[in-house]
Amino acid sequence: MNLRAQNWHEPGTPGEWFKRICSVLNLAVLSVTCIIIVSEFRFDWCERLVGNYLSFTNNTRPENGAIWDAGRHMANALQSLDQMALARESAGRTVRTADSFADLAAKLGPGEWATLDKARFRALYLSLPPYRRRHVVDPVQLVWLLNGGATDRIFCEGRMGGMKIFFIDTRNRVVQQVDLDLQTLGNNGSHAVMPGTLDNAPEFFGRIYPASLFFTAVLRLPGEMRADLLLDTEDLLTEKGLLHRVGVGNSAQDGFICLGFEFRHLGESRVVKVKAREWAVWQLTLVLRGDG
């Protein structure tokens, strides 16, 4: 009775302690524990098991906590960076492919920005007809802006119906701002073509002349006056057909008066409208009337 009661209590002697420690059950538990620990350090199966469980239950767990918030912030930041990179690449492509200020203004959406280096701006500026350049930037002032060290970089911003150009110095100050309208820049603002005859255009009513009479009067004007009358003859030189009549507009706008040149080709008529300096047109009108 005493032996049985003693087995349920802690050992009384060191020998009994040793026997209990080295029992088969304890040694088996110790061995299994060592195997589990060693295998965990060797194969990381516990981390893999926990990771697989978390991955499997990821969709059912609520997305809250600091880790989720950090992940969302990181994803939003990466998305914003991608959008900024795409926008910059698109703006650079727009600047490289634009062949005129009108083309650049048409490609830039409202609020979109693009950077123009000085060489690109100079190329677009010089592509304009000489009489149009002053409407963008005064040539003398542009020499100082581009070559005098006053400008560090040039930005252009799209807007409804045109664009704005900003000349920025090294202190991020705007030293010059230019506001351009698409309507003014379209086709360099110098010409337009319409089917039909001059009789269909009310602006030329009562002021339509045979082409021979018109050019006879033009050739009587001084050379510098003819240069202001026909600012750019490229559109007229490239037109096919026989020049039949010329109409002189009866109203002025921004110092210009519209001239209409009626061409006939293969039984069809079309009118090429160009703009001429107002003062030169009035001098021409005097010659056409016989007063000059």
Q: Dig out the tokens for 148 from the structure.
A: 């005098």
Share of the chain above pLDDT 70, in %: 76
pLDDT-wise least confident of 78-87, 126-135, 142-151, 254-263: 78-87
| Residue 2: count of CB within 10 angstroms of its CB | 6
Q: Is the pLDDT of residue 190 over 60?
A: no
Q: How far apart are CA 109 and CA 36, in angstroms?
A: 65
pLDDT the model gives residue 48: 81
Q: How far apart are CA 51 and CA 57, in angstroms?
A: 10
Mean pLDDT confidence for 188-204: 75
Binned at pLDDT 50, 70 and 90, residue 1 comes out as very low
Q: How far apart are CA 206 and CA 80, in angstroms?
A: 62
User: For residues 229 and 207, which has the higher predicted lDDT (pLDDT)?
Assistant: 207
pLDDT tens, 47-88?
Answer: 788 778 777 777 776 666 666 667 667 767 666 655 555 555
Q: How far apart are CA 118 and CA 156, in angstroms?
A: 12
pLDDT the model gives residue 178: 86
pLDDT tens, 75-86?
Answer: 676 666 555 555
Q: Is the pLDDT of residue 188 over 50?
A: no
pTM: 0.43
pLDDT-wise least confident of 2-6, 225-229, 230-234, 255-259: 2-6
HSE on the CB side for 23, CA within 13 Å? 8
pLDDT the model gives residue 189: 46
